[in-house]
Amino acid sequence: MAEALGPQAELVEVDADLPPEAGDKERFTRGVERLLLDGQAEAAVHSAKDLPGEMTAGLAIGAVPARVDPRDAWIGPGGSIEEIPDGARVGTASLRRRAQLKALRPDLQMVELRGNVDTRLRKLEAGDADGLVLAMAGLQRLGRDHVVSFAFDEEQMTPAAGQGCLVVQTRTGGEAQVEGISDPNSLTRLTAERAAVVGLGADCSSPVGVHARLEGNWLVIDAFAGRSDGSVWVRDRVEGDPARPESLGRELAERMLRAGASEAMAGSTLSD
């Protein structure tokens, strides 16, 4: 990414010794943002799905490079959701993945499994779980996608908003310095997804999936919200003009809230 920003780009190291905040992802994100706000960096790169829906005051999304595969991947026995063995122990710390997996396959057993990709793969090999669900994008970027048994269809397992996207964040007014590396279609899709998440009152840890795609002249947005035990969920879709991604994302959120999305998400925990 530094190369994409130009030959004069310089990497700035983020202080790893940060004060505890809401969670590890948000803690790291806020640390990166501090460098921007303090003037120690001109641009910051985030995984889009880790960036809070409400942008920090004084900062803006300057660019969204071309999106890579947004799907969730299964690592373990079975070539489809139907072929995963009965009662398999699935390693994941994501409420979104738990909710959708339990909705699809109530027999599956969820095991809380944390750590980076290599740590989770080692835990799988050690027998801590029978299978894992990880983001295809992360596996591809690390050259680990050879371990994937299959990728879930986006309508079957709705990805997290922004999954597969990187965001180049700048101070407000500094967007022009990075806009040349932005992909318009990826930016449109991400804008719609983030608007839906904000409209639902969700965050990066909520059992919510939102995925937007362009089909011809239409922007199609699918969303899922549900309880992490898979007992209650809401799915919906809107289609419309890609020139108004924010309003379409908000429209989808409003429809889902009227259908009971807030109640569906209420009470979700990793112990489900």
Tell me phi and psi for residue 47, to 5 degrees. -70, 125
Q: How many residues in total does the chain contain?
A: 272
> Which residue among the candidates 49, 98, 194, 250 is catalytic per the annotation?
49
> Which residue among the candidates 25, 171, 204, 229 is catalytic per the annotation?
204
244 is catalytic: no
> Which residue among the candidates 114, 122, 237, 258 is catalytic per the annotation?
114
> Which residue among the candidates 25, 67, 71, 97 is catalytic per the annotation?
97
Measure the CA–CA gap between 231 and 222, rounded to whole angstroms. 20
> Which residue among the candidates 50, 128, 145, 203 is catalytic per the annotation?
50
227 is catalytic: no
50 is catalytic: yes
17 is catalytic: no
CA 72 distance to own-chain centroid: 10
User: Both ends of the chain: CA-CA distance in Å?
Assistant: 39
Measure the CA–CA gap between 120 and 194, rounded to whole angstroms. 28
* Packing angle of the helix pair 184-200, 245-258 (nearest 10 deg): 30
194 is catalytic: no
97 is catalytic: yes
> Which residue among the candidates 98, 120, 194, 227 is catalytic per the annotation?
120
96 is catalytic: yes
> Which residue among the candidates 71, 96, 189, 250 is catalytic per the annotation?
96
Active site residues: 49-50, 96-97, 114, 120, 204
